[in-house]
Amino acid sequence: MWRRGFFWLPALLVLASVASLMPWSPRVSAQTTLKAPRAVEWKDFLGVNAQFQYFDPAVYQKQMARLDALGLNWVRLTIHWFIIEPHQGDLQWRELDGAMAAMQRHGYNTIAYLVGSPPFASSAPAGTSNRDQYPPSDFKLFASRMVSLAQRYPQVSTWQVWNEPNIFWRPKEDPTAYYRLLTTTADAIRAQVPGKAIAAAGMAYYSQMHSTPGLILDILLKQGLAGQNLIAAYHPYSQLPEGDDAAAQDFLVRGNALNSALHNNGVAQVWATEWGWSSYDGPREMQALIGIDGQADYTLRRLALMSAMDYQRVFLFNLSDLDARVSPRDRYYGLLDLDGQPKPVYTALRNFLNVTGPRLLPADAPVSNNAPTDLYNIAWTRNDGAHVWMFWSASGQSLQLPGVTQATLFDPLAGSHTNLSDGTAITVPLKTSLQLLVWTP
């Protein structure tokens, strides 16, 4: 039986803390120009979270077809230990086997994580509720189950150990214990199934903890994380694309600082293995009610920002909506509805990817003499040599681009485009949502 928390979905908790790994800046300059550190190939950079095995095969085949139509193929798959082994030794593979076989036929690059202690393996005291959110009592047993998964599903390229232990590790977070689970499992997989990439758990938010000061990623680094050749991951959920405080741009400040700190301390790969917004209509559950149009708007703006930051890979949560066995908010994070039909966020993302093409090279932003102070802009060069400019502003009405005399303006939310032309400098209308301007130099 599913219940609230079955998928351990985003809580959007306010976890305020300060840590040595990442300084918290109170305010930054509002006008923002980002230039990516490297080229972005969407097929390799952008993935989705999925729970295929919990759907009927006819439905998840439809989900996969929709994913293929976007030209994406990285999938992060949820595997709950207490579902595949409700009783010790009673391993139930049928649904997972079917989903894994279908994923293999579609050629997906897959990261899969195992989470949730079954009753026989939980460290929870007898009679405790939410026993699955307690760590396993025997870390070697957990490691052996992950080895069995890696042996059974060789098509999975990356295995991730647990999920969000900074908030889902009862009775309270324990960085030292989690690091021991991580290294025990990584060592076991590498010994039995060599060549597999291993990722540390995706930490909720920026890895703050409920009752321990600082960041769990900071503590893991001090314990030796960087020397383990592991992928580091976290889940930068926030109220707005630019952060919980848009004026402070705290997503940019915190994300850039955390990525830099991890990379500078020797972590080669930093992934955002969950991020996104629900389109639910209430009752309000922490996240503001933004609806289906807000979900599409926020997703594109955040994707534009993340593409120009030092992430090696990001995974949108979620490919599909979920059913009533989870909370009202948690049902509606999907690009697709329960029947596999596109929501506005899916259509907007497809429009966005159609305009950008499969690969973008970093470029300098165009110069404007009358840009508003809160303009966000990120510039690229497409494979065909055309310039692609991503931009939005909450206050500006329009700006001029000297030297650009012809361009096409795309609104991926509306699915529309407008040709702009002027002998000396086109005038570009601004919106609070992301638009794309394309021109050939």
**Among 181, 216, 219, 182, which residue's Cα sits nearest to residue 15?**
216
For residue 317, is it within any domain? Answer: yes
Query: CA dist 207 to 62, 201, 219, Å?
Result: 35, 10, 10
How confident is the model over 330-356, as a mean pLDDT? 98
State the residue range of the domain holding 370: 360-439
The CATH number assigned to the domain holding 392 equals: 2.60.40
For residue 225, is it within any domain? Answer: yes
pLDDT confidence tier of residue 164, bands split at 50, 70 and 90: very high
Q: pTM for the whole thing?
A: 0.95
Asked if 364 and 281 sit in the same domain, the reply is no
Number of helices (H) and strands (E) in the chain: give both, helices first.
Answer: 10, 18
Whole-number pLDDT of residue 21: 52
- From CA 26, how far away is CA 125, in angstroms rounded? 42
Asked if 129 and 269 sit in the same domain, the reply is yes
Asked if 377 and 231 sit in the same domain, the reply is no
Whole-number pLDDT of residue 31: 74
Eight-state DSSP code of residue 234: E
The per-residue pLDDT for range 93-139, each reduced to its tens digit, is 999 999 999 999 999 999 999 999 999 999 999 999 999 999 999 99
Asked if 369 and 226 sit in the same domain, the reply is no
Asked if 343 and 374 sit in the same domain, the reply is no
For residue 275, is it within any domain? Answer: yes
For residue 262, is it within any domain? Answer: yes
Asked if 134 and 281 sit in the same domain, the reply is yes
* Burial track 106-135 (b if 16+ CB lie within 10 A, e otherwise): eebbbbbbbbbbbeebbbbeeeeeebbbbb
Asked if 198 and 110 sit in the same domain, the reply is yes
The residue that leads in pLDDT, 407 or 19, is: 407
pLDDT confidence tier of residue 404, bands split at 50, 70 and 90: very high
Instruction: Please state the domain count of the chain.
Output: 2
Asked if 232 and 367 sit in the same domain, the reply is no
For residue 44, is it within any domain? Answer: yes
How confident is the model over 135-150, as a mean pLDDT? 98
Lookup: tokens for 317: 């949560």
Asked if 137 and 254 sit in the same domain, the reply is yes
pLDDT of 39 above 70: yes
pLDDT confidence tier of residue 18, bands split at 50, 70 and 90: very low
The CATH number assigned to the domain holding 228 equals: 3.20.20.80
